Amino acid sequence: MNIILLGPPGAGKGTQARRLEEERGMIQLSTGDMLREARTSGTEMGRKVAAIMDAGELVTDDIVIGLIEEKIKAAPNASFIFDGFPRTLAQADALGELLERNGKKLDAVIELRVDDDALVKRIAGRYTCGDCGEVYHDATKPTKVDGVCDECGSSNLIRRADDNEEALKTRLMEYYKKTSPLIGYYYAKGLLHSVDGLAPIDTVASEIASVLDALRPLDGNVKTP
Ligand code: AP5
């Protein structure tokens, strides 16, 4: 099964993708994480990516499509959660072609619906473990021990360079202009499922689980008598 988690910055895509990895053995493909890794590479491309990300703009389609293609090819039997990809209609078309070329299909697109006020609060309070990637929030999901990651015990807790008011404005604009048209695109393909992303993390996770469990018969995994 391959799914997309679609939603604006701070909607909870990364949080839910990590849970799906743990609970269903799927692989999270976050273009944001891949680009954050690329920006530390010290290359010219890394420097360009860093400047674009810090401003809150979108990196060019060819770069992100190339990153995703590498990952799909490297794990031919895996089930993927696309987190933060696709973000433009060109990326969506490219993903469809990529999956087809690799004998895969897209099973569902889960839209996390949230409002802008909630997003601002979420982004302002977010911090991440720099070692294992676990995502936290000052108010809604703090670490159990102050300054120590619950998952891996690291004290390398970081805040993202693009989690500031100015970059967030641009990220939201980019989302509404370039990414939100994907809602109609996937609705027309019969793949869209909308979930209330304002609900608590566990409730959102259960709603996503219900959508995926209902899809299983279509996946051919349920035996008929
Ligand atoms: P990316 O890293 O993908 O960032 P984003 O889409 O802006 O999404 P976020 O990671 O900010 O939010 P999220 O939805 O994952 O929320 P999270 O789970 O962390 O992209 C960064 C940049 O990379 C882009 O701006 C662009 O430059 C570039 N880029 C990436 N992909 C690209 C592409 N395909 N094409 C071109 N450029 C690309 O949750 C947020 C906070 O809320 C956390 O603190 C969490 O604990 C909390 N929270 C989560 N769910 C809940 C809940 N239900 N209730 C309360 N709190 C919650």
pLDDT of residue 217: 54
Rounded Cα distance, 81 and 13, in Å: 10
Q: Where is average pLDDT lowest: 80-94, 124-138, 154-168, 207-221?
A: 207-221
Peptide linkage before 86 cis (omega within 30 of 0) = yes
Is residue 10 within 8 Å of residue 127, measured between CB atoms? no
pLDDT, tens only, 43-99? 888 999 999 999 999 999 999 999 999 999 999 999 999 999 999 999 999 999 999
Residue 126 appears among annotated catalytic residues: yes
Task: Give the mean pLDDT of 29-35.
Answer: 95
Q: Is the CB of 85 under 6 A from ligand 1?
A: yes
Helix axes 61-74 and 89-101, enclosed angle (nearest 10): 20
DSSP 60: P
Task: Give the mean pLDDT of 179-206.
Answer: 97
User: Is residue 131 helix, strand or coil?
Assistant: coil
Task: Give the mean pLDDT of 140-158.
Answer: 96
| CA-wise closest residue to 158 among 44, 36, 56, 38 | 36
Per the residue annotation, which of 13, 18, 39, 122 is the catalytic one? 13
pLDDT, tens only, 4-31? 999 999 999 999 999 999 999 999 999 9
pLDDT of residue 14: 95
Q: Which of 6, 21, 95, 126 maximizes ligand 1 atoms within 8 Å of its Cβ, making it the mutation to test the pocket? A: 126
Q: Compute CA distances 185 → 8, 9, 40, 91, 191, whole Å.
A: 16, 20, 34, 12, 9
Cα 22–chain centre separation: 15
Rounded Cα distance, 70 and 57, in Å: 23
Question: For ligand 1, atom 49, which residue shows the shortest CA distance?
Answer: 12
- Give the pair of three-digit tokens for residue 168: 């967030």
Q: Where is average pLDDT lowest: 116-120, 144-148, 184-188, 220-224?
A: 220-224
User: Is residue 35 helix, strand or coil?
Assistant: helix
pLDDT of residue 40: 86
- pTM for the full model? 0.93
User: Is residue 111 helix, strand or coil?
Assistant: strand
Question: For ligand 1, atom 50, which residue shows the shortest CA distance?
Answer: 12
Q: Is the CB of 8 under 6 A from ligand 1?
A: no
Q: Which strands make up the sheet holding 157-158, listed edge to edge?
A: 135-137, 126-129, 157-158
Strand partners, 145: 148
Task: Give the mean pLDDT of 195-214.
Answer: 96
Q: Which of 21, 28, 31, 119 maximizes ligand 1 atoms within 8 Å of its Cβ, making it the mutation to test the pocket? A: 31
Q: What is the number of the ligand 1 atom nearest to the C-alpha of 199?
A: 53
Task: Give the mean pLDDT of 23-40.
Answer: 93
Rounded Cα distance, 110 and 100, in Å: 20
Q: Which of 20, 137, 174, 195 maximizes ligand 1 atoms within 8 Å of its Cβ, making it the mutation to test the pocket? A: 137
User: Is residue 137 helix, strand or coil?
Assistant: strand
- Give the pair of three-digit tokens for residue 64: 């992100």
pLDDT, tens only, 90-137? 999 999 999 999 999 999 999 999 999 999 999 999 999 999 999 999
pLDDT of residue 42: 84
pLDDT of residue 41: 84
Q: Is the CB of 215 under 6 A from ligand 1?
A: no
Rounded Cα distance, 20 and 205, in Å: 8
Q: Is the CB of 122 under 6 A from ligand 1?
A: yes
